[in-house]
Amino acid sequence: MKKIFFAFLFTAIMSDLSAQSTETILLYPDGTPGLKAGVNIPEDSKTTDGITRVKDVTQPALFVYPAKKKTSDATVIICPGGGYGILAIDHEGHDIAKWFNDRGVSVFVLKYRLPQEELFDNDEIRPLQDAQQAIRIVRKNASKYGISPDKVGLMGFSAGGHLASTAATHFKTQVGEITDPNISVRPDFSLLIYPVITFSDKFTHFGSRDNLIGKNPPIEKMELYSNEKQVTKDTPPTFLISTTDDGVQPENSIAYFLACKKNKVPVEMHIYEKGGHGYGLKKRGRGPVETWAARMEDWLKDRKLMK
């Protein structure tokens, strides 16, 4: 019995070690743009209630997760959620990367900057700037990682879904101090999991909106960041997950779905009756929503992005 137990333990440990970040890429090795002079705040990372929360990010980075047995030349850049106030970087980042690795897909987890005015000038553009820079870096190094530069997807959870949908609809403008007209920042597909989409008063998640563009923002800015209003025929194919009992109301996903449908953008949406918010891949008796990743796997296979 002991031999069986230790064999099982060894297998579990090796399985966990088989999907680890092998490299960290700083987005701005020569200095973070927009960082205010004299700022020297250490990054804050705390784990409570089983959730790791990261904030005060001044060195945004990509964590590289190469698949041990790669079966696809597609890749995904994963944007954790956290209401633009923290990054839930484990269960909406690193754990998701391992899921992709197990299915033969090499991926990247994005540790992006939060809109903190005490740290950055023009703080509201910094998350999008980081997402666009991440896409540039991945495309520029596609051959190194054995991926196709035209199969780079962006995945986002909650407010990370707002960031991913912003990148998927605002790509014609490269924001911030660093631009490259020779590298597109348009993701090739997007995976939006219980996403914040709209900044309209009726259905927005006020915490995310307040953190990104402030309380009582002008109508023009609310419209700009209501990404269902920014969808065009050039918006990339999209997969959406929501639940009816989510504090981030499913009308966010529905509005984006309808905008994609109107503009003939390939789109698939699954709305579950229950499940709440922030579940990631955790199994906690939430019901059918716990199989959402299998639906995403089906979608990715149908689009020849996963085998």
Per-residue model confidence (pLDDT) at position 22: 85
Averaged pLDDT for residues 273-291: 91
Question: Measured between alpha carbons, how far is 58 from 62 in angstroms, rounded to an integer?
Answer: 13
Averaged pLDDT for residues 166-192: 97
Per-residue model confidence (pLDDT) at position 74: 98
Per-residue model confidence (pLDDT) at position 128: 98
Higher pLDDT, 60 or 283: 60
Higher pLDDT, 10 or 283: 283
Predicted TM-score of the model (pTM): 0.92
Confidence of residue 19 (pLDDT cuts 50, 70, 90): low
> For the segment 105-136, what is each residue's pLDDT rounded down to a tens digit?
999 999 999 999 999 999 999 999 999 999 99
Averaged pLDDT for residues 62-86: 97
Confidence of residue 20 (pLDDT cuts 50, 70, 90): confident
> For the segment 53-69, what is each residue's pLDDT rounded down to a tens digit?
999 999 999 999 999 99
Per-residue model confidence (pLDDT) at position 97: 98
Per-residue model confidence (pLDDT) at position 172: 96
Going across the sheet that includes 23-26, the strands are 23-26, 61-65, 107-111, 75-79, 152-157, 189-193, 238-243, 267-272
Averaged pLDDT for residues 73-99: 97
Nearest alpha-carbon partner for 228 in 303, 161, 153: 161
Per-residue model confidence (pLDDT) at position 2: 39
Confidence of residue 17 (pLDDT cuts 50, 70, 90): very low
Per-residue model confidence (pLDDT) at position 160: 98
Per-residue model confidence (pLDDT) at position 83: 97
3-state SS record for 280-304: CCCCCCCCHHHHHHHHHHHHHHHCC
Residue 259 has pLDDT above 80, yes or no: yes
Per-residue model confidence (pLDDT) at position 11: 37
Q: Which runs of consecutive H residues, i.e. helices, occur in the chain? A: 2-17, 95-102, 126-140, 142-145, 159-169, 206-213, 219-224, 251-262, 292-302
Confidence of residue 18 (pLDDT cuts 50, 70, 90): very low
> For the segment 207-241, what is each residue's pLDDT rounded down to a tens digit?
999 999 999 999 999 999 999 999 999 999 999 99
Structure tokens at 295: 């639906």
Residue 7 has pLDDT above 90, yes or no: no
Question: Measured between alpha carbons, how far is 256 from 229 in angstroms, rounded to an integer?
Answer: 8
Average pLDDT value for the chain: 93
Instruction: Find the farthest-apart pair of alpha carbons in the chain and give their distance in angstroms, rounded.
Output: 67
